[in-house]
Chains A and B, each alone.
Chain A
Amino acid sequence: MNAYQEFKIIGSRPIRPDGLDKVTGRARYGADLNMQGQLYGHVLRSPHAHAFIKSIDCSKALAMEGVLAVMTGEDLVEPGSQMLGSGEGALALKDVVPMVMSQGKVLFHSQAVAAVAATSPELAAEAAQAVEVMYDVLPAVTDVHKALAADAPILHDDRFPDGYPEEPTNLATHISLTVGDPDAAFEKADVVIDQTYSVPMCHQGYIEPHACVARADAAGRVELWCCTQGHFTVRHYTSAVTGIDLGKIKVTASEIGGGFGGKTTVYLEPLAVVLAQKSGRPVKMVMDRGDVFRATGPAPGAETKVKLGATRDGKLVAADVECLMDSGAYNGNPAGIPAFMATACYKLKDARSTGRSVYTNKPKIHAYRAPSIPQVTLGFELAVTELAAELGIDPIEFRLMNAVEEGDANMMGAPYKRIGLRECLEVARNHGHYKSAVAEGAGRGVAMGYWINAGMQSSATLNVIADGHVSILTGSPDIGGSRASLALMASEVLGIPFEHIHLQVAATDAVGHTDVTGGSRTTLATGQAVIQAAEECVAEMCRRAAAEWEAEPGLVTWSQGAAHYGDQSLTFEDLAGRAGAMGGPLTFSTSLTSTSTAPGFGVHICDAEVDKETGRTTITRYTAIQDAGRAIHPDYVEGQMQGGAVQGIGWALNEEYLYSDEGALENPGFLDYRIPVASDLPFINAVIVEVPNPLHPFGVKGVGEVPIVPPMPAIAEAVYQSTGVRFRDLPLNPPKIVAALANS
């Protein structure tokens, strides 16, 4: 169904249109805007992980000269049961409001309890300390098992998971899916693996802290500038949290310095808005790096019990997965995805998958690149590898024997259409990396990964400029080069030079509704909107040319950037320059909900060498193979694969949240929250496989999230092969490895 089979510019690697501003320091990110007369907002944060707020007295702060506004959680709405749409799932307003500011009970260390706006950042910080808060401190619980124990302090005495009695519990959600009869199927298995694996809580680690500037006018209209993955989402959430009418809020997205899912909600924005309204002045707020780690939305830690059964011939016949996830203080809904997607790569008629999430005194978890799937895949892929080893079957061969293909159904019953998993496995099997001998003392691991890939809503407006250039407005903040890909798609359809297409990320009042940049959907869905707008432009230009030539519209063709009829032609520039006389302005707007999604699959191969005396692991070679459907701009597809792989490497080796017994984060900085640095890594060889998506005009499949899924199990297996010791609990830091080697 792909309308386009041969491409003139798709697949090339032009320089991205926003690149010049980024290498010269001209691009403006969240903290790079200043408004005249602005105040500076500062948040007062709880020093306790679990406490009732008995009282808050802001009077001394407000009395200080230069302090123009103060606020507490009482200035936000009382959330009822309202649900908010989000990146890839709905959140309850009552789980979003307290992540902006506490309303009477503190459930994690550094939760916001009050905020002030003052004429300088130093004054605002000092004024925040003058706010007097009285706490009734409660015992804190940071361990998931302790939170489920009978004597655990209860975070929410008014919440009970669906289907459970109304008794105090920290269990947040419990979801289970079953297909067929896994218990019976296990009886028929020749070999069964039953192990538990764990992955720590970690953070998306974006280098740019949250930042925004808010301004309110006398009529109650509010303007926000902020770094975000979705400014329409910011508008929606800010309205919901503050009670300000949706139509009175305009949000402009700055350039964004990384998000990876962590910037698909609001933290500072509603506070800046309220302070701006109260003070009558613009308010700028920039989050401290420590608070980014302590008080935004990390990725959940998880314990996954995986039971797999196979017959001697290598056929996987049964699976039972139980994933226990840390939700933090509020419900971030992490458990649905393991339930629905744990078995996504494998043909299984008999399987059960269960996800549970638990409240603990930590910040509410939030999305991080393929949310919740890396956690469960660590276990699933390692269990598969252990099973294959026990059967004496090569890990790629075993996966080829059991990998899903078109027509197979996932746990939710939906059959896969044309997917590229087997193709990726075959590329892996034949790849020079896999064929090469493993170096002495090193080990090799292979793993595969899946992401559902979202569609959702996107809009685009295309304006033809009289000189033949084109301005395209979208509502998709550009995290990773999407403006380049969108310009390529428009250039392909219109037939005009890439350099003549000017992509802008427009504010919420200037383009149609667009969901977040996330879910691996921007190239797909916003691309579809751009393609459609461009096609409408072409159709209108052909109509105008036909009218001029008095020809049948259907006989006018478009190619090489011009309308043709016989030996007559009118170029895009001609039609653009004469638009006024030929029918009026050439403007095309599209809004759509994309139903053209296709899931993504990838296979990674990792060689690693462990220094057995020190426990230090070095990644010596890494290959990432992934089906992109169609790589619009290969540099940025490779970039997603490399970046996601390295995030997975960090999570496997060193990244973890470390909490004190009192619930304070012990490593809230890049010194001790250890993301990979340049000298830790080799080149990441990215191999793009193209199995075009039949539902998309260009064959695109989302690529952004799959790459973080295979690294952890691939590395854990490589470390096993290098040391002879199986590691099932990440991260694989040196003390853990040395201790395990000493015990083996």
Chain B
Amino acid sequence: MAVQEFISPTSLSEAQQVVGDGAASSWLAGGTDLLVGIRLGARDPARVIDLKQIPELTAIEIDETSVRIGAAASAFDVLHNSDVPSLFPGLAEALNLIGSTQITGRCSAGGNLCNASPAADSIPALIANGAQCRILGPDGERALAVEDFVVGPNQNALASDELLVELILPRPAVGTSDAYLRLTPRTEMDIAVAGAGVSITMDESGECTAARIAIGAVAPTALLVEAAARALMGSQLDQTAIDGAVAAVRAAATPISDKRGTAEYRTHVVGVLVSRAIANAQARITEARS
């Protein structure tokens, strides 16, 4: 059935009012998943509610402790923000890889997260950076870590009358950097066959004092692999430590075989990507220090 209504609220309260009446609605950010879903018959909302006229939902704000990215802020705007790409180069890599330039111009980290594809590029990078979701519902606000926000393939933790307002990332501590890598058969335009988002903190002696390793496209949801982080903690990011992290992510991965790759391949390659992403993050930290 065709979409019956298109509404553009200009405030959060207006948005909540609209969605509160119970008609089947979909939130619209960039539309790069929603419109494809409608076209292919997977989504069938009677009403589309455009979030892009609500200031909180497209704002990108930075203060001393955190970076807040509105759920409907376009990847393009995040990538061209004066500060965010240098604070989170890995998140920038991930957002840039969601799709083509045309997709980047519209898609949003929030939308990518809410769509919750197991292969979503933003999610491992958001998890690695400890991002939190600020959720607004009729009964008020709640927070969820990104790794808890995705509950299954294409399933997020929002109730039908809740919306994701923004993503809150703690500013990286000194000596921290992130990286995101994925494997696709072509250089662009593909869904990730496997993805790895990492954030590493190294002290001046080169010792790893914090790590968050997240993997994507190798399980029903992106996974935070704490065992991989433990393998790195306290090490000099030497080969043994990295091998330990690689083994941990391969053990945590539970991929399927489908038209994009075999399970064996995904398990193998996610380890390769984690290893390379750690090296990338490490190189960034070293360069920032020099």
Contact = CB atoms under 8 A, between A and B. Distances in A.
A and B touch in the complex (CB under 8 A): yes
Interface of A: 122, 290, 613-616, 653-654, 658, 666-667, 670-672, 674, 676-677, 679-680, 733-735, 738-739, 742
A734 B189 contact: no
14 contacts: A613-B272, A671-B191, A672-B191, A674-B185, A674-B186, A674-B189, A674-B190, A677-B186, A677-B188, A677-B189, A679-B186, A680-B186, A734-B185, A734-B269
A658 B188 contact: no
A735 B261 contact: yes
A667 B261 contact: no
Given A653-B185, A667-B259, A735 B190 contact: no
Contacts of A654: 185-186
A739 B262 contact: yes
B203 interface: no
A195 to B, nearest CB: 24
B46 to A, nearest CB: 15
B186 A738 contact: no
Contacts of B191: 671-672
B272 A680 contact: no
Given A614-B183, A658-B259, A666-B259, A735 B188 contact: no
Contact of A672 (B188, B260, B272): B260
Interface string B259-272: 11110110011001
A679 B265 contact: no
B248 interface: no
A289 B1 CA distance: 20
Nearest to A733: B185
Nearest to B190: A674
A616 B262 CA distance: 15
Interface of B: 2, 40, 183, 185-191, 193, 259-262, 264-265, 268-269, 272-273
B207 to A, nearest CB: 27
B186 to A, nearest CB: 5
Contacts, number: 58
A84 B262 CA distance: 44
Contacts of A735: 261-262, 264-265
Given A613-B272, A738-B269, A671 B2 contact: no
Nearest to B264: A739
Contact of A739 (B187, B260, B265, B272): B265
A318 B111 CA distance: 62
Given A613-B269, A658-B259, A674-B190, 20 more contacts: A122-B2, A614-B269, A616-B183, A616-B185, A653-B185, A672-B260, A674-B189, A677-B186, A677-B188, A679-B186, A679-B188, A680-B186, A733-B185, A734-B183, A734-B185, A734-B261, A734-B269, A735-B261, A735-B264, A739-B262
Contact of B190 (A613, A658, A671, A739): A671
Contacts of B193: 734
B186 A676 contact: yes
Contacts of B268: 738, 742
Contacts of A614: 183, 269, 272-273
A679 B187 contact: yes
A367 to B, nearest CB: 26
Nearest to B266: A735
Contacts of A733: 185
B251 to A, nearest CB: 18
A668 to B, nearest CB: 10
B260 to A, nearest CB: 7
A741 to B, nearest CB: 10
Contacts of B262: 735, 739
Contacts of A653: 185
A611 to B, nearest CB: 9
Nearest to B261: A735
A614 B275 CA distance: 12
Nearest to A656: B259
A273 B262 CA distance: 46
A619 to B, nearest CB: 11
Contacts of B40: 290
A109 B265 CA distance: 30
B157 to A, nearest CB: 27
Contacts of A674: 185-186, 189-190
B99 to A, nearest CB: 10
**Residue of A614, A615, A672, A679 ringed by the most chain B CB atoms within 10 A:** A614
Nearest to B273: A614
A352 B131 CA distance: 66
Nearest to A613: B272
A733 B269 CA distance: 13
Contacts of B273: 614
Q: Which of A613, A667, A680 has the most CB of B within 10 A?
A: A613
A501 to B, nearest CB: 38
B288 to A, nearest CB: 27
Nearest to A618: B187
Nearest to A666: B259
